[in-house]
Amino acid sequence: MPPLHTLYIAYPLLTVSDESAGGAEQVLWALEHELAQRGVHTTVAASAGSRIAGELFATGDPCTQPDDYERRNQEHQEAVIAFVRRQAHAGNAFDLVHDMSGSFWSRAAELDAPVLATLHLPRSFYLPQYFQEIPANLSFNCVSHSQARSFSDLEGLVGVVPNGIVLDRFGPEHHANDNGNSSRQQGLLWLGRICEEKAPHLALEIAACAGLPITLAGQIYPFSYHQQYFKREVAPRLQQMPNATFITSPTFEQKRKLLREAEALLITSMADETSSLVAMEAAASGTPVIAFRHGALPEVIRDGVTGFLADNAVDASAACQRIVSLNPAACLQHARAAFSSAAMAAAYLHLYESVVQTQGVPRSIQV
């Protein structure tokens, strides 16, 4: 039996690579690399310039202009549909289409192949009509149990596969220098997408209240409302805080260094997060996390062991004073036990086999 031939569909705005900032892109990159190493025949439909382990089908250039999502997404989806049909006509049909884009699955009925859509976002972020009249070839999976509870009535929901990270890309080198002394900097870190729901302005307020320096690092996506939020809420606070540093669109090496050297990572999202790759990356770096108690964050952070869960900014500020009580080794141990991309890949392989067989094409997935 030949290896599974899988097409991954990426979010259309940005490229997919080991430098990706977006969570869905990072998960796709890690998963595709893990499965390609296991012998799965992988193809990724993504923006030109993406760097992946298998074959790249470039659907167009990534966005550079603000508010260009609708045009780019339409271009992306049309290219994918035409590509899948060409492959089938040439006798190279995909066994499975795995949609990581967040919206392509609304057109699953136009394909003959089984489609598995990973739901990365809270349910309220999706248009209700996306979950009406689910075609027979479409299945869904969630990335956390708290998210799955909100989708419990969804037809075609086939399981939960928690996100994972490539643990070897991170490490605890910052715990001690050559003299055996701690090399961790005395300061907080906020790392992520600069937008209102992630609330980096609250991280600045928490740091000011705690009397600690903070580094804000992240990417502003090409949406005018994200850019307006930064100018309105973040930039003025940065100007008023002499001990605050802003790094725009950090490279992976910068991100890794920031995570290793931070006293703690702040997660101030106001949304019901379905997962948190940055919390996983912090744990794998031996760095504790202070986060609001929203969504799946209690599934990722062990309160009082790998960080602290807070109910508001005042609680988070107080938790900053207790960070010294946490052991970086416990963070690292938890990351290795819970956040492996290899474990994520194994879980997806199991799900793929179930989905393919359910669609009436029984086969045993070879790896």
Q: Exposed, middle or buried by CB within 10 Å (0-12, 13-18, 19+), for 330?
A: middle
CA nearest 98: which of 7, 204, 206, 218? 7
For position 184, what pLDDT does the model report? 55
Do 291 and 228 lie in one domain? The reply is: yes
Do 213 and 323 lie in one domain? The reply is: yes
Strand partners, 116: 98, 139
Instruction: Output the DSSP codes for 243-309.
Output: TEEEEES--HHHHHHHHHH-SEEEE---S--S--HHHHHHHHTT--EEEE--TTHHHHS-BTTTEEE
Residues lower than pLDDT 50 in the chain: 1, 174-182, 362-367
Question: What is the C-alpha separation between 267 and 280, in angstroms, rounded?
Answer: 12
For position 363, what pLDDT does the model report? 42
Q: How many residues does the chain have?
A: 367
Strand partners, 188: 214, 264
For position 180, what pLDDT does the model report? 36
Phi/psi class of residue 72: alpha, beta or left (left: φ > 0; alpha: ψ in -120 to 50)? alpha
Do 190 and 67 lie in one domain? The reply is: no
Position 363 in a domain: no
Do 102 and 157 lie in one domain? The reply is: yes
Question: What is the C-alpha separation between 7 and 31, in angstroms, rounded?
Answer: 12
H-run or E-run covering 331 = helix 328-338
Contact 13, 69 (CB under 8 A): yes
User: What is the pTM for the complete model shown?
Assistant: 0.91
Which residue reads 């996306």 in tokens?
130
For position 159, what pLDDT does the model report? 95
Position 365 in a domain: no
How many separate domains does the chain show? 2
Q: Give the Cβ contact number of residue 58 at 10 Å.
A: 15
CATH number, domain of 267, equals 3.40.50.2000
Do 28 and 113 lie in one domain? The reply is: yes
* Residue pLDDT, tens place only, 181-236: 345 567 999 999 999 999 999 999 999 999 999 999 999 988 999 999 999 999 99
Do 55 and 142 lie in one domain? The reply is: yes
Do 64 and 35 lie in one domain? The reply is: yes
Instruction: Supply φ then ψ for residue 116, to 5 degrees.
Output: -110, 120
Question: What is the C-alpha separation between 209 and 146, in angstroms, rounded?
Answer: 31
**Residue 297 belongs to domain spanning:** 170-338
Question: What is the C-alpha separation between 108 and 134, in angstroms, rounded?
Answer: 9
Contact 274, 295 (CB under 8 A): yes
Contact 194, 220 (CB under 8 A): yes
Do 144 and 196 lie in one domain? The reply is: no
Kindly give, in sequence order, each residue whose CB lies less than 8 Å from that of residue 250, ignoring residues fewer than 6 positions away. Answer: 191, 217, 218, 258
Position 367 in a domain: no
